[in-house]
Copies of this chain bind each other. A is one copy, B any other.
Amino acid sequence: MPDGVDDRTAKARIRDAAIACFADVGPSQTTARRVAAEAGVSPGLVMHHFGSMEGLRSSCDDHVVETIRRMKTQALSEGAGIDILAALRHADVGHIPAYIARMLGEETPTSQRLIDEIVSDAETYLERGVESGMIRPTDDPKGRAAVMAFWSLGALMLHRHVERILGVDLTDPDLATSPTLASWAAPVYEILGEGILTQDFAANATSTFHAISADEGSTTDQQDTDDHQENER
């Protein structure tokens, strides 16, 4: 930081401190006093600017989502290829990837919309890959995009374990040029490049699912969104 001064407004400092806290220690450990201390202000000021803890969280969500949208358009123009998360890893994102990893576990409207967008974007990315000849076409572009997105996001959620086992920090903004990248990306590209199943087995498995689906589909044809679950004990 040049001049040693922080020219961010106190409100912005609080928001950034909160994002860092949420990312580092999780929502449950992120208290108003902790955020205030991190931002170098009093606890009362947090309430003054954000009304409540929920309001603070909401502002953080908005800021993070907005940041992502900005880099997304940028990444789209550069051609991110199959790496769904590439957009998140451009410079100056700080704690945002780790913050996202935390918020993905929840079911807030914001996280739902974010995931919907990412899945939709993935479909676009993959489609471009198909057009440019990098990626094979498929009968189920949406399903394939969803699976790819969930795999990427899930790995991001497990980034601490990934780092522990493979030595790669998936939240690292400089991951693209990190020497550790290969231990994650090499297996990924190997799997995506040629698959891991033999052709025979894959064809067999796929036809099995179609059989089950067709079989059950003839007896029960409804497609309900929100369904069962809950305590039957």
Partner-B contacts on A (CB < 8 A): 1, 16, 20, 24, 27-28, 38, 82, 102, 104-105, 107, 111-112, 115-116, 119, 126, 129, 133-136, 138, 140, 143-144, 146-148, 150-151, 153-158, 160-162, 164-167, 169, 177-199, 201-203, 205-206, 209-210, 212-213, 215-217, 220, 223, 225-231, 233
Contacts and interface: CB of A to CB of B under 8 A. Distances in A.
B225 A177 contact: no
Given A161-B150, A190-B202, A179 B220 contact: yes
Contacts of A140: 186-187, 190
A124 to B, nearest CB: 15
Given A180-B225, A196-B138, A199-B194, A158 B150 contact: yes
Nearest to A114: B161
**Copies assembled:** 2
A164 B104 contact: no
Nearest to A153: B158
A112 B143 contact: no
A186 B143 contact: yes
Contacts of A27: 28
Give the residue among A107, A116, A162, A206 with the most B Cβ atoms within 10 A: A206
22 contacts: A16-B233, A20-B231, A82-B197, A107-B161, A115-B165, A134-B197, A134-B198, A135-B197, A136-B196, A143-B184, A147-B187, A150-B158, A154-B154, A165-B228, A167-B227, A179-B216, A183-B228, A189-B209, A190-B206, A192-B202, A193-B201, A194-B194
Nearest to A176: B212
Given A158-B154, A177-B212, A179-B216, A202 B198 contact: no
B185 A209 contact: yes
